[in-house]
Amino acid sequence: MNSEDINEPSLGLEFEKLCAEILKFRGFEVRSEYRGKRGHIDILAKKGGEQVAVEVKLYRSKIILPNIIERAVDYICDKGPIGSIRLVIVSSVVTEPLKAQMLAKRDVHVWDIVDLFNVAFDHPDSYYKLARIFNRATTEKPDPLMIVVEGRSAKLIDELLFVDGHAPSPLTKFVSHGEKLCRELKAIAEGKGGDSDEDIVDKEERDAADKPKKKSPARLYEEKCKEILEYLFKDHLTLWDFQHSTDGGIHKFDLICRIASLHNFWIDLSKDFNTRYVLFEFKNYKNKITQGQIYTTEKYLFNRGLRTVAFIISRKGPDKNAQIAAKGALRENGKLIVNLTDDELCKMLHIADGKHEADRKEDPTEVLIEVIDSMLTSTIR
């Protein structure tokens, strides 16, 4: 996978500072990292007696799907000072119909990377800084996006400050679905199981869950993990085949999905590991998973079936021997087995909801990138 700048946490902050710089150049009085009564916003800008609450988003992909833009819009509606004009600035391409929809339904303006190039054009230093940031974030050349239309910059600012004479509507309260999913996941009781009999217990719990009685914690955990993954990646993965049996019904793995995404992370994963499908296993064990679970999951992966990547999600993560086994599967057979914990799932949910302010990350896949990079860079040939 292309790891250039992936571990550079300052890139998002650099983009945010550049947006503030561009607004200053356009005559705005700018206050960065504003914390008001409603919460944190990236920029509070003032011009001509109007106050603009700005949320800045840096993404790793050139094209961003509508639901991600909607989350950013939800956030500024929730956190922006009441009565402020609201603006979301993103580093990717957003369609004009979606921009119009966000303005009509939510009274939120959206500037994408093309708009930003237009607004920055008369300030060469900012213009070329923007080109460099876009390239570092997406590894793509921004040339087609840098075309400037005469008068567009002034029109964007005029529309922002004078929204047809209409005052912004009352802000809509944002309910964090990701936080709800995280709490539900952690509320599930940890299943039985130990280091020696985890596979036997797993089968017993599944058999019990197939009966019309109360679902076992193991089944509840599996279903909640699937729900979380669908919330995070429904626009990037398809199929969602749950509790899939292999030929003959001897083995059963929890979830298999097909990659169908324009996002750089999933495209790179597919190319780098020659895979079309990704496997997910969910382990509700009290203890860390062992190397035995790694070996079992490895059996489900094979190159000719274009299925070489698996994610194992567990309460406590892998023990030392399981980590060694996962690296061995990668080194010897080219099979990528990634271990994730509940905490990492919740971190992705908070990022998806725009509420993970500590790292200032903007895309849930950043968590996957960090885990995979750590694994790849520590694997000895």
Q: What is the pLDDT of residues 102-128, one digit of tens each?
A: 998 899 999 999 999 999 999 999 999
Model pLDDT, residue 9: 57
pLDDT exceeds cutoff 70 at 205: no
pLDDT at 5 over 70: no
Domain annotation for the chain: domains and CATH numbers: 10-161 (3.40.1350.10), 177-378 (3.40.91)
**Per-residue pLDDT at 163:** 44
Average pLDDT over residues 2-13: 58
What distance in Å separates the CA atoms of residue 338 and residue 261, rounded to the nearest whole number?
20
Residue type, 231: Y
Under the banding of pLDDT at 50, 70 and 90, the label for residue 247 is low
More confident residue, 377 or 35: 377
The reported pLDDT for the residue numbered 27 is 95
pLDDT at 350: 87
* Most confident among 22-26, 172-176, 211-215, 248-252 (mean pLDDT): 22-26
**Distance in angstroms (rounded) separating the CA atoms of residues 130 and 41:** 21
Averaged confidence pLDDT in the chain: 85
Q: What is the mean pLDDT of residues 137-161?
A: 91
Using 50, 70 and 90 to split pLDDT, how confident is the model at 7?
Answer: very low
Q: What is the pLDDT of residues 164-192, one digit of tens each?
A: 443 443 333 334 678 889 999 999 999 75
Q: Could you tell me the pTM of the whole model?
A: 0.61
